[in-house]
Each structure stands twice: as structure tokens, then as C-alpha cells.
Amino acid sequence: MRYLDFHTHTWPEESVEIDAIVSCVAPEPVCDYQEGIYLSYGIHPWYIQGNDTEKLLEHVREAAHFNRVVAIGEAGLDKLKGPPMDVQKRLFCWQIEISEAVNKPLIIHSVKANNEVLNLRKTMNPAQPWIIHGFNGHPQEMEQLIKAGFYLSFGPKILYPSNKAAESFRQIPEDRFFLETDHTNKSIVALYDKAADIRGISVKVLEEAIRKNGAQLIPALKRS
């Protein structure tokens, strides 16, 4: 049994076998890593303001070529926090281009902006997979995004049965989802246990599905 924490901001500390994709935010340096730890690297929309955007992009362009960086992001759009939307969209589109150039998936931060992200995908028609992390939408929204080719990563919101994310997770096709702890102290083991219960399957079957999904997007996970 080997867990995959698809998006986190902290190093795993649980005493189980875990692969984790740790999010690094430009302009911080690409940190050292240990076995089972992978990195994503990008410009988070919250941290654009006050920074030289061209220098931020230089950091992403450089980091994108490192083997330890297996995905670009988290990048995206946030209508509740960050600079004006036109600035966010410009930086997001540049990171889409980087993702395409280096053939690495794009991990997306989207707050109240799924329609805009969906329209950009239709306009830019990327070859690389796009994964919306921390998905918390209704099943109808999930279905719309899946139909457009997105993957969705679910976080601790699924621990609460009344949350709409739990129902979306129950219905999502098994080849389109991941689990993540994001910026919380929640246990990936607890998330797997709850996720298996929501879908009415064993944790082992869930683990195999997530492992298969990860290997399809990120070659390094095939060797884990």
C-alpha cells in the first residue's frame, strides 16, 4: 500500500509509504527532496502582487526543466484574492505555455473562476493534462469539467458528508481523480479511508485507481 498525496505544501510526516507532490511557489528556490517526494513549481495568483512578474516567470522556466519538478503550478485564477483578473490571466497563460513547452501537467488553483479556466482550456487546446486541485464544486460542475478533459483533485472537504465535494467525488469517473491534503494538517490516510467509504470500495482498490491515474500523468510515478 502506497499513498499518493497529489498536492501538498508540507513534507509528509506520517509513518506510511507516501508519494507526495509538494507545491513550490515562485520565487522560492527548488528545494532538495527525498525519495517519494516530487515537486510542482509555479506562480500562485496570491503572490503576484509586489513581485517582478518577468523574474517570477524566469524562475518557473528554469525550474520547469528540473527532473524533480513533475508538474507546473499551482497556477490559476482567484476572484477573491490577488491582483486584477487581467494580470492573473496573463501570468496563467504564460504558465500554460511553459507546461506545454516542457510536456508537464498543469496543477490549477481556481477560486470562483472555473468558467474562466474552462474557457481558456477551450481556447488554448493544451496537449498537457490540467488538474484542478482542491475541487469543491457540485456534481454538475464536476461533469462539465470532466467532459472538457480535466482531472480533479479532492481535499479535506470530502471528510464532511454534507459538503458538495463528497457527492462529486462519489460520482466522478475512477480515471479522473486524485486526493490531496493541500495546506492542512489532515492525514492522507484519513482521506483515503473516507474516500473509499464514499465510493463504496476498498482502500486498496482506491489506491490502485489513484496510482494508475498518477502514472498516466507523471512518468516518475510509474517507478514508485
> Is residue 95 within 8 Å of residue 43, measured between CB atoms?
yes
For residue 174, what is the DSSP state?
A: T
Q: Which residues does 77 contact at the CB level (< 8 Å), separation at least 6?
A: 45, 85, 88, 89, 92, 109, 110, 111, 113, 116, 117
Q: Is residue 193 annotated as involved in ligand binding?
A: no
CA distance 52 to 60: 13
> Is residue 99 within 8 Å of residue 126, measured between CB atoms?
yes
CA distance 86 to 130: 21
Q: Is residue 32 annotated as involved in ligand binding?
A: no
At residue 55, the 3 state secondary structure works out as helix
CA atoms within 13 A on the CB side of 199: 23
Q: Is residue 7 annotated as involved in ligand binding?
A: no
At residue 72, the 3 state secondary structure works out as strand
Q: Is residue 54 annotated as involved in ligand binding?
A: no
CA distance 179 to 47: 24
Closest CA to 53 of 80, 82, 31: 82
Residues annotated within a binding site: 74, 109, 133, 182
Residues annotated within a binding site for a divalent metal cation: 74, 109, 133, 182
